[in-house]
């Protein structure tokens, strides 16, 4: 579907839903039903250039071995900035992303129109991977419980680390940045306009924003999948930087971020902003982890900060533990 006024562009996919009499209703009443919104690519992976301090090799304490290491990273012995290539810089476009919603059990029908569906989806529960869990929320006692208000369903116990697996077709999968699949937890919601928003004769670009739901769970996401999982078996950093080219994150970075998110219950990445649009995602993400007892073996990643606007990364920081 394409709406020219606010440039909304998405594909709608129904699972166990059918259109009857102008309304979207459940096909099989006894089975779950889903609506999946497929969105255009949300991230661009762009070639980056090394910017060095002038005369870095003349700084006291900068050894020959360190100079050799910087040469591997694209700078010469004098610490010069990497020269700008003669041809246009290469880039890679991420795949399409999707956000999935589970229809409520009491769904009677939604009018089959784009505006009506967008309005309804703002209140539907998110359908996410089983590994996309929130950080534990603080427990608050607000009364005595003698009998459950609803039948209790026993769920299998969770085991950490969580499995590394691709989200199912009816589960949310946001590719941000390139080759890194993020997913929010099910207690959050997406907020967006059902109709184009106009002010003073101008119409704003359609976006959907990740917001906190009715619970106390914080707004967060987990990296649940990357095709580069396991690529950090080698510690040849120079090789990772060159594949396919130097950019904001390497295959090894993506693997270590995913491993961190799946390894422990406190692995989620804090979301200060996450908005998806036809022009790409705008995001402000912050992941903070320790490297002490309980950290994945060989994973020395302590923090990840990622900022992007309309799909283009403009600030990425990865902090690794070091030794003196």
Q: Quick one: the chain helix, strand, coil %, rounded to 5?
A: 15, 30, 55
**Domain limits, the chain:** 2-49+89-132+161-320, 51-83
Q: Which residues contact 249 (CB under 8 A, 6 or more apart)?
A: 177, 178, 180, 257, 316, 318
pTM, whole model, 2 decimals? 0.85
- Complete DSSP assignment for 209-243: EEE--SSS---EEEEEE-TTTTGGGS--HHHHHTS
Contact criterion met (CB below 8 Å) for 112 and 23:
yes
DSSP 195: S
Contact criterion met (CB below 8 Å) for 291 and 300:
yes
C-alpha neighbours within 13 Å on the C-beta side of residue 175:
20
> Exposed/middle/buried for 17, CB within 10 Å: 0-12, 13-18, 19+?
buried
Neighbours of 140 (CB within 10 A): 6
Q: pLDDT per position in the chain (324 positions), as tens?
A: 999 999 999 999 999 999 999 999 999 998 999 999 999 999 999 998 888 766 555 554 545 444 444 444 444 444 567 888 878 889 999 999 999 999 999 998 999 999 999 999 999 999 999 999 998 755 444 555 566 555 565 555 556 788 999 999 999 999 999 999 999 999 999 999 999 999 998 999 999 999 998 888 899 999 999 999 976 555 566 666 778 888 899 999 999 999 999 987 778 999 999 999 999 999 999 999 987 766 788 888 999 999 999 999 999 999 998 876
């Amino acid at each position: 579907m394409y709406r020219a006024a606010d440039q909304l562009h998405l594909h709608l996919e129904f699972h166990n839903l059918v259109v009857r009499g102008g309304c979207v209703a459940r096909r099989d009443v006894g089975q779950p039903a889903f609506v999946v919104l497929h969105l255009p690519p949300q991230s661009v992976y762009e070639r980056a250039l090394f910017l060095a301090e002038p005369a870095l090799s003349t700084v006291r304490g900068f050894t020959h071995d360190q100079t050799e290491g910087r040469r591997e990273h694209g700078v010469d012995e004098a610490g010069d900035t990497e020269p700008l290539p003669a041809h246009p810089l290469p880039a890679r476009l991420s795949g399409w992303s999707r956000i999935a919603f589970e229809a409520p059990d009491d769904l009677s029908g939604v009018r089959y129109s784009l505006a009506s569906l967008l309005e309804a989806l703002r209140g539907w529960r998110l359908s996410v991977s089983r590994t996309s869990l929130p950080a534990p929320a603080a427990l608050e006692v607000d009364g005595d419980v003698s009998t459950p208000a609803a039948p209790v369903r026993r769920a299998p116990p969770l085991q950490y680390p969580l499995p590394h697996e691709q989200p199912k077709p009816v589960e949310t999968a946001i590719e941000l940045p390139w080759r890194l699949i993020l997913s929010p937890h099910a207690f959050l919601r997406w907020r967006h306009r059902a109709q184009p928003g106009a002010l003073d004769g101008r119409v704003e670009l359609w976006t959907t924003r990740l917001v906190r739901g009715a619970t106390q769970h914080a707004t967060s996401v987990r990296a649940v999948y990357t095709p580069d999982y396991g690529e950090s078996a080698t510690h040849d950093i120079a090789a990772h930087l060159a594949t396919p080219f130097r950019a904001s994150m390497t295959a090894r970075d993506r693997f270590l971020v995913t491993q961190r998110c799946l390894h422990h219950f406190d692995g989620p990445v804090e979301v200060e902003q996450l908005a998806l649009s036809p022009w790409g995602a705008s995001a402000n993400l912050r992941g903070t982890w320790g490297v002490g007892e309980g950290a994945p073996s060989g994973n020395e990643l302590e923090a990840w900060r990622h900022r992007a606007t309309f799909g283009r990364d403009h600030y990425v920081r990865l902090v690794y533990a070091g030794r003196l």
